[in-house]
Amino acid sequence: MINDMQKIEITKESIFGAQNYAPLSVVLEKGKGEFLWDVEGVKYLDMMSAYSAVSHGHSHPELIRIIKEQVEKLSVVSRAYYTKNLGDFLETLTKITKMDRALVMNTGAEAVETAIKAARRWGYFNKAIPENKAEIIVADGNFHGRTTTIVGFSSDPDYKKGFGPFTPGFKMANYCTNHCSCSSKCEDSIESFKKLINKNTCAILVEPIQGEGGINVPRKGWLKQLSKLCKENNILLLVDEIQSGLGRTGKLFAFNHENIKPDGVIIGKALGGGMLPISAFLSSQDVMDNFNPGSHGSTFGGNPLAAAVGKRSLELLYEDNLIENSKALGAYLKKELINMDLDIIKEVRGEGLWLGVEILSDRTSAKNLCKELMLKQVLTKETHETVIRFAPPLMISKENIDLGLEKINEVFTTYRAKKISAKKAS
């Protein structure tokens, strides 16, 4: 039940804001660790992590300390000048990721746009593709952001409706998943990429695991095949690790599960420690050398405050054992969800603490179940109509994973019981 205080805040957003989101009816005010509190003081278990942005947990005390310390010194001066913080951040970032160079931006979409620009310049300057002819191959079911360029190569019509005309230069191949309804699509995925490659192809851009697409996990070996295909054809492999990276899947990056090294890596979300928007495009010196002063930039990109937070966020992945915790508790959560063996669950998939539970569409909707979980004080969000995401902060304890599982089981079982009772009554 929504109380008066929450109604007031929800109404304000409705009156004064654009209606480009459809939030659950809860008004949050405070967070700590894996928990959130609403304006009435009701406590919720966060099983969403702001789409992986809050991997370190809410209000991490060390990150708060860094922010307070840095704000009192220097926050933003633009890239018109050097700052000590950015150099330290870049050194830490490239060492941890084992990439040559990094270009720091603010949001994930900005980092994707950076990767696109980098790939095109590499295509023109290094591969001698004729000007304005460069092509990038993407996968169906992708979600790389919401700029007009990015939605233009989405396969979801809802993301594109009313926003055209779109930027040319993108071709779409088939993503490969373990659960696709058409097995030939999975078997022919690499072939679909091969068919689109021509002399003007400069890059392939994919998510190692598709998040918004429904936590779609490709078959083992697929990303390695794609990497091999790129090397054989002198094409850059760009991986979007904005949601899947920085420990979310139980490894630093999702591509580490395939033991490959892509040519470019896009990161964001957790890089800001749940405090600030920070993103980056990582690549080789060969690719990055194509940028020159004035060719790309951002007033806030790499600002001293963000650089200080980003550096410490990376260090805390290891100091707080977040990657190992994601691997161990993710495997546990997945096993327990599968063991529920309830007749409304079609499939459980994902890696680490990034799981999707697909619901049988003829039984209920994922949105309905998310609403009922909210009433049980567990917060998560659906993607599309049939998949519920479970992605708690990576610092979550086993005790609170069990608390979440208890509430999930209650909701799923009760909903199934309601359906069974309704059938008997009829």
CATH label of the domain that carries residue 15: 3.90.1150.10
The two tokens of residue 196 are: 């689109």
Is the Cα dihedral 38, 107, 271, 240 positive or negative?
positive
Residue 197's nearest CA partner among 127, 282, 281, 111 is 127
**pLDDT value for 6:** 86
- DSSP code, position 385: T
Query: In terms of domains, do 219 and 92 share one?
Result: yes
Confidence of residue 134 (pLDDT cuts 50, 70, 90): very high
Its domain, for residue 401, covers 4-56+321-425
| Residues 280 and 381 occupy one common structural domain | no
Q: Where residue 216 sits, what CATH number does that domain have?
A: 3.40.640.10
Residue 240 known to be catalytic: yes
Instruction: Give the alpha-carbon dihedral of 34, 39, 41, 43, to 10 degrees.
Output: -30
Same domain membership, residue 200 and residue 129: yes
Helix (H) or strand (E) holding 138: strand 135-139
**Which position among 35, 89, 153, 269 bears the catalytic label?**
269
Distance CA 256, CA 138 (A): 20
Looking at the structure, tell me whether residues 181 and 213 fall in a common domain. yes
Using the structure block, give the residue that is written with the tokens 């809050």: 54
- H/E/C letters for each residue in 171-208? EEECCCCCCCCCHHHHHCHHHHHHHHCCCCEEEEEECC
Answer with the residue of higher pLDDT: 223 or 424. 223
- Retrieve residue 253's tokens: 């990056």
Is residue 269 among the annotated active site residues?
yes
pLDDT tens digits, one per residue of 58-83: 999 999 999 999 999 999 999 999 99
Q: Is 92 left (phi over 0), alpha (psi -120 to 50) or beta?
A: alpha
Say yes or no: 188 and 129 in one domain.
Answer: yes
pLDDT tens string 22-43: 999 999 999 999 999 999 999 9
Q: Are residues 89 and 209 in the same domain?
A: yes
Domain boundary residue, one of 319, 341, 372: 319
Is 143 one of the catalytic residues?
yes
Q: How confident is the model at residue 421 (pLDDT cuts 50, 70, 90)?
A: low
Same domain, yes or no, for 150 and 168?
yes
| pLDDT at residue 24, rounded to an integer | 93
Residue 414: closest CA among 342, 333, 357, 366: 342
Interval 40-54: pLDDT, tens: 999 999 999 999 999
46, 240, 263, 320: which is the annotated catalytic residue? 240
User: In this structure, are 137 and 167 located in the same domain?
Assistant: yes
If asked whether residues 380 and 280 sit together in one domain, one would say: no
Tally of structural domains, the chain: 2
pTM over 0.75: yes
Please check whether residues 140 and 262 belong to one and the same domain.
Answer: yes
The residue among 268, 300, 319 that closes a domain is 319
Q: What is the mean pLDDT of residues 368-386?
A: 95
User: Which of 35, 89, 143, 193 does the annotation list as catalytic?
Assistant: 143
* Same structural domain, 173 and 260: yes
Last-in-domain residue among 271, 299, 319: 319
325 and 302, same structural domain? no
* Model pLDDT, residue 183: 45
